[in-house]
Structure 1
Amino acid sequence: MTVGAPGLRERKKQRTREALIDAALDLFGNKGFEATTVDEIADAVEVSSRTFFRYFASKEDVVISLMAQQWADIYDELDRRPADEPVLTALWRACLIVLRVYEADGMSPNSSKFACLAQLVQDSPSVLARSLELCSQQNDALARRLAQRMGVDPITDPRPGLVAAVGATALQVAIRAWREHEPDKRVSELADRAFELLQGGINYPAATA
């Protein structure tokens, strides 16, 4: 059976969900996460708080849903990579494709929305806790995908988990470099640099006296 385009009801639900996300991020940026209420987010979209809770279980879930979508996009692209491509290269290419698509579509990680997400993780203990929980879950999910590509068991073979962890760290290093030191560069450029360093190996020599 061929699945058609989303119906009117589904499109309306998606628009409401996106409007709630946009309103929440605007309020978080202007008032701060802790000071913003669910009622204020709902009022900004002219819906009830009950409607908000149909889409999100909490304020934290608004932020986490965006992060989860970013991971889902990376997984989709990773699944499209050639089956014989080395796993770090496949992950590297998948991440760059996703970042560049965001940038081309005007959803750049360099946008205010992305900056707001990064700031929320830094400033809000509850968002940070949920973010760390999500990262742990996603690292496990990514390790399983990489293990499948390698034809190994991720429980007994530590390599998929190691690649997943260092790959996620490469992205975090790129984002931090953009936020703190190189805001004039694209996150995709900085991620490309980080993965290239990983590809070359990280057993750097010690300084000589």
Structure 2
Amino acid sequence: MGNPRPSPEPGSRLPLRERKKQRTREALVDTALELFTERGFQGVTLDELCDAVDTSKRTFFRHFSSKEDVAMTPLLDMWRAFLEELETRDPDGGPLLDLLRDALLAALDRMPADRWAERVLLSRQLAEQAPSMDAHGLRFCRDTTRAALDILDGRLGVTTADDPRPRLAIDMLVAAFHCALDAWTASPGTRTRGALAAQLRVACAALPGSLSLPLPPAGDRPSRP
């Protein structure tokens, strides 16, 4: 599976060859989302996509593993950046969930400011029509969870073998993000990275209360028709 190109440090630029690769990758993503939206995910072949970008299938597979991979790139790039953030963060003794949340917020902040939000919306619309994208997303989520657990175990010294809590913390973060993403997608007006980050903070803050949310007494429940 292709990886996103690292962002240059402030005041620096990527080498010319890397900039060309990045432009090709971005062109493939934008063109794929445009063509898939216009003609349907199954209505565009890989050959047609490569022809539209004037590149080869060999070049395509240097960046992506499949049509599903390129169509889901906006969010997949964010989760790859999340793993990179997790690799470099130093715990301060606070809750693990806070560390995971902050790593995801930092990853979100690294996404391109210009068209990333628009790409996410197009990708989500396509996923509703293409079951294979959901299957690809589930596999990627499983792999990302395993990678995150390896980082917690190997670098941060969090025991993950016989303790379900680290896995549950990651699962709760993923659930909170999807909750935030749904709210962000349904919100009126222009969607931005900042608005999605705000929704993520709200969803993460609601996690502890969700675990202890009481059910109403039987007498207070609405009757079924």
- Which TM bucket (shorter chain)? 0.7 to 0.9
Query: Bigger CA drift: 8-17 or 188-197?
Result: 8-17
CA distance in 1, matches of 2:63, 2:51: 15
> What letter matches 1:187 in structure 2?
L
CA contact (8 A) 2:46 2:67 kept: yes
In 2, Cα distance between the equivalents of 1:49 and 1:81?
37
Q: Which residue identity is paired with 1:203?
A: S
Alignment correspondent of 1:118: 124
Aligned to 1:18, the other structure's residue is in SS state helix
Q: Is the 8 A contact 2:85 2:107 kept in 1?
A: yes
The answer on 1:139 being equivalent to 2:145 is yes
CA distance in 2, matches of 1:100, 1:55: 22
User: Which deviates more, 125-134 or 148-157?
Assistant: 148-157
Paired with 2:152 and 2:76, the residues of 1 have a C-alpha distance of 18
Stretches of structure 2 that go unaligned for 5 or more consecutive residues are: 1-11, 221-225
Deviates more, 1:4-13 or 1:84-93: 4-13
The equivalent position to 1:154 in structure 2, one of 154, 160, 166, is: 160
Residue 143 and residue 25 in structure 1: after superposition, are their counterparts in 2 closer, same or farther (change >3 A)? same
Q: How many residues align?
A: 202
The separation in 2 between residues aligned to 1:143 and 1:99, in whole angstroms, is 20
Query: Could you state the TM-score of these two structures normalised by the residue count of structure 2?
Result: 0.78
Query: 1:59-208, aligned counterparts within 5 Å?
Result: 59-84=67-92, 85-102=94-111, 105-108=113-116, 111-148=117-154, 151-180=157-186, 182-184=187-189, 186-200=195-209, 202-208=211-217
SS at match of 1:206: coil
Q: How much is the aligned-residue C-alpha RMSD, in angstroms?
A: 2.5
For structure 1, which runs of at least 5 residues remain unmatched after alignment? none
Q: 1:200 to 1:144 in 2, by over 3 A?
A: farther
User: In percent, how many aligned pairs have the same letter?
Assistant: 37
* Residue range with higher mean Cα deviation, 23-32 or 137-146: 137-146
For 1:150 and 1:49, how far apart are their aligned partners in 2? 40
What's the CA shift for 1:79?
3.6
Kindly indicate whether the alpha-carbon contact (under 8 Å) linking 2:160 and 2:166 is maintained by their aligned counterparts in 1: yes
**1:78·1:91 contact (CA, 8 Å) conserved in 2?**
yes
Deviations 1:177-196 (A, max 9, x none): 2223x244621111110001
| 1:24-63 map, 5 Å | 24-63=32-71
Q: Partners of 2:44 and 2:32 in 1: how far apart?
A: 8
What is the DSSP-based 3-state SS (H/G/I as helix, E as strand, rest coil) of the residue aligned with 1:16?
A: helix
C-alpha separation between the residues in 1 aligned to 2:164 and 2:156?
12
TM-score, normalization by structure 1: 0.83
Contact 1:87–1:149, Cα closer than 8 Å, also in 2: no
SS in 1 for 2:42: coil
CA distance in 2, matches of 1:204, 1:46: 55
